Amino acid sequence: MIGSKTNPLVHFMSKWVMYVNEAGLHDHWYKQAIPNFSMCVKLPSKVTVSTSFSINNSWAMFVILLTGLGAGFIIFLTEHIHAHIRHHGE
């Protein structure tokens, strides 16, 4: 957005953009700049993957999961040790 709704440039620019779209210039410029731009507009609704899912393909996901679980467990133990020391230290 160029500015607030009260800015006169916003009204002028929105009219200009509307005229460009109605005239078809937007699509024409895309066709000249990117010859196969319509392929991006009409993406397939279903994507198929030819590789099979295995642990070898997703080891990083498990590393991140185990790292998070380990960090959570260490924090859990630290909180309980701290609470135990605080409770018995008084």
- Whole-model pTM: value is 0.40
At 50-79, the pLDDT tens digits run 777 777 778 888 999 999 999 999 999 999
> Which pLDDT band holds residue 38 (cuts at 50, 70, 90)?
low
Provide the 10 A C-beta neighbour count for residue 23: 10
Q: Which residues contact 20 (CB under 8 A, 6 or more apart)?
A: 26
How far is CA 2 from each of CA 6, 14, 15, 30, 60, rounded to the nearest angstrom? 11, 10, 13, 23, 43
User: What pLDDT is recorded for position 4?
Assistant: 74
Residue 18: pLDDT over 80: yes
pLDDT at 57: 75
